[in-house]
Amino acid sequence: MNPATGEVMAAVPKATVGDVDRCVEASRKALQGAEWKKMDPAQRGRVLNKMAAVTYEKAKELAVVESSNNGKTFREALSEIRYGAWTLEYFAGLTDKIEGTTIPVPGSRLNYTLRQPLGVTAHIVPWNFPLQLALRSIAPALAAGCTVIAKPASWTPLSLLAWGKAIDEGNTGLPSGVLQILTGSGSLAGNALAGHSGVDGVVLTGGVPTGQAVMAKASEQLTPVTLELGGKGANIVFPDADLRYAAKAICFGIFMNAGQMCWAGSRLLVHEDVHDELVEAVCAEVGKWKVGPGMEEGVRIGSLVHERHRAEVLEKLEAGLKQGGSLKLGGSAVEGDGAFMEAT
């Protein structure tokens, strides 16, 4: 769905447990076929570089899909796609630099480390940076010789699917079955992947409750899990700060991607001597941040990702006001189509 208009963009498969089983089986077959994991590391790097080149080439097309499906501005989406391509390039350069060590020991024994691919890896991707955060974990897994199953968020599957299609058609040299994209709900497909006996590692970027659920499911198989969860970013402003510059930085830190970031600057710790002046400067700066459809020229704050997410934002705002907070600016849903929220 396009959250800026409420229009349905596409229908995607909703994976069942059986689909997950077949996907894992195909991934294990690709791993055991050894074409990828035993490929010369330098050649594996060349494949990743070709994948990066395809991503750069298709960046504008992918950014249109990302903006339309996620609600973010086209400029933000394009930056995200290009960063994802750079991530592929970066890990392409590391494929032939995976080294072990040799330790001197007495006698005729030999003591050394041998690094091998972990195996089949499952990547559960969030909705706020659907392609960038997918590539952040996909790239190192591929560089190490692992096979990959990526599950995009239910709200934002389209950019990862479009990227996968571009890679499939891009003549990159990636063997069949090494990279798969599985669409479905987190509660069904995500849980089935996390707890699957054929998965050797799970990567999740998401909220704390989701991380807890995935870790609990993976623990049934003693599968290693890598989690990147939510956070809170604080801005600290002292009396000697340039308040106009601080106001611009504060707005960028909280309103980029419509504030939907784990590192968003959602806390302001301000010295009392400059509190009122800073609040005034921030309110003035907020007025320059136009809210609207992400593909529209001059827009700096796009739609929130989903109507349900906007409802959650409004609930939290109401809770803050009940706990003694005060509202200086905004605070309402924007009337009309789409999941827009006033800069608040």
Question: Which active-site residues does the annotation give?
Answer: 228, 262
Q: Over the range 224-257, which residues count as b (16 or more CB within 10 Å of their CB) and which as e?
A: ebebeeeeeeebebeeebebeebbebbbebbbbb
List the one residue out of 78, 97, 194, 175 whose CA is nearest residue 140: 97
Which residue, among 176, 131, 178, 174, has the nearest Cα to 152 in the 3D structure?
A: 131
Q: Does residue 112 contact residue 106 with C-beta atoms inside 8 Å? A: no
Q: Residue 75 is inside which H or E element, if any?
A: helix 74-92
CA atoms of 67 and 77, how far apart (whole Å): 6
User: Quick check: 339 and 7 in contact, CB under 8 A?
Assistant: no
The Cα 299–Cα 302 span in angstroms is: 7
Burial bucket for residue 335 (CB in 10 Å: 0-12, 13-18, 19+): exposed
